[in-house]
Amino acid sequence: MRGMIVIVLIAALAMLAGGIIATQISGGESPGTDATGLLATATTDTRPTGSGPATSGTQGGAPSNQPEVTPTNPAGSKQPSDDASETPTEAIQIIPSGQPLPTVLPAHQPVRSAPINGIQAVEDYYSEWHKRENFIVSWRPGAFPESRADEVAAQARIARDQVNRQLGTDDNDRIEILLADEMYLAADCVGCQGFAFSDRRQVFILQDGSMSDEEFQALLTHEIGHVIAGNYIALPHVATLFLAEGLATWLMTPDLIEQGFIEPRQIAAWAWKVGIIPPFFELRDAEFEGRTRARAEYDPAASFTQYVIETYGMEAYKRIYDGELPEDAMGRSYVQLEQEWHGWLAQWADNNVEGITAETWWGAAQVVIQGFEILYADPASVSQEQYAQLATARVALNKGELENAVALMEASGLAVGTAN
């Protein structure tokens, strides 16, 4: 598929995949042209919100169409800010707008087959397992070489040490890591790259080739963070997903920064700038359908976590995570916290990061988001080549390589406005 792209912002949904957490007991204005040539408007996400924390998974689904609105800032005065692999295939052309990116090469056309629910189904599918100290690494027989277990266990140790250090915990119990060689079959994991069952101490990670090596450590930290938080603070039927996903995304932030990705706090500040952070009461009830589709939920949630921990301390955050009202934990209501948090984000809202601004980043993000929406709605309609272009565009976006991201999406044809 080839063609030119007309870029129109739709509701802020999501990109780089983050995990979904669960527990289971058993079994507008006309767009203006910005400096990069992207056409940009902003929208408000008016999807129906979810029903709060799940007890057996979070439900995903295709997002609804969104009306365009003029970008507006939330209430509050803005404060002044300081500006702050594998060999690519011939079919995938990357525009050099900085350091060249390794191309993400999925093993095959996207297919849904890997289970996450049903204890027997999971055991039958991921039946080849390898014990490495206190980690068990499992996959479908023959899906990976045995050496992959050593690599994953080594990264899991790094992740667990990091989570323990940030949370002040000392977890060293068994964790099972299940690698899926195809996309997840379950309706509550459509489009997710990771999933955690805290009470079963299981972490599912998608490994069909659509994730770059640069992304893997962060996702592993995110999911292990869910397991440890669920066992040492609270399970998600007590803590809202807003707090649970915010904490896990905050925990993986050092990994994102180390790999050169733009940190969640900056993405959240830019979301505040263009007016697409959902109201606080919606965030607290949102379904958090994986960071791939809910970027304007995950990154703000992570920034809220960071704000509360830096301002009121880790123990105060743990108390509200465990269901305590913020009035009791820190003497502030959620309304007051929202105002404080937005004012804090405003410090970075006008940041220009190597030529990238709120409008240009979110403009490019929506193009990539459109492609993932098509993928998750009908994986069979997406070729292996398109899957590779889409996955590589995600990495480019999160590294701030906007020209690469948009060029890859144009080449793929997986965005509104492209011609077959």
Sequential DSSP letters for 261-274: PPPHHHHHHHHHHH
Nearest to 216 by CA among 326, 279, 137: 137
For the chain, what are the domain ranges?
A: 111-232, 235-351, 352-420
Q: What local confidence, expressed as pLDDT, does residue 29 receive?
A: 29
Residue 14, φ and ψ in degrees, nearest 5:
180, 165
Question: Over pLDDT 70: what percentage of the chain?
Answer: 74
- HSE-CB at 407 with a 13 A cutoff on CA atoms is 14
Q: How far apart are CA 112 and CA 385, in angstroms?
A: 17
Q: Reduce the DSSP state of residue 356 to 3 states and report it.
A: strand
Residues of the chain where predicted confidence (pLDDT) is lower than 70: 1-102, 237-239, 416-420
Q: What local confidence, expressed as pLDDT, does residue 293 receive?
A: 75
CATH fold label, 111-232: Glutaredoxin (3.40.30)
Q: What local confidence, expressed as pLDDT, does residue 239 receive?
A: 67
Q: What local confidence, expressed as pLDDT, does residue 417 receive?
A: 55
Q: How far is CA 316 from the centre of its chain?
A: 25
Q: What local confidence, expressed as pLDDT, does residue 101 receive?
A: 61
Written as one string, the DSSP assignment of 357-408 is -HHHHHHHHHHHHHHHHHHHH-GGGS-HHHHHHHHHHHHHHHTT-HHHHHHH
β-bridge pairing 202-206 and 128-132:
unpaired
- Mark out the alpha helices in 86-168 (DSSP H runs): 119-125, 147-167
Q: 364 in the Ramachandran plot: left (φ > 0), alpha (ψ -120 to 50) or beta?
A: alpha
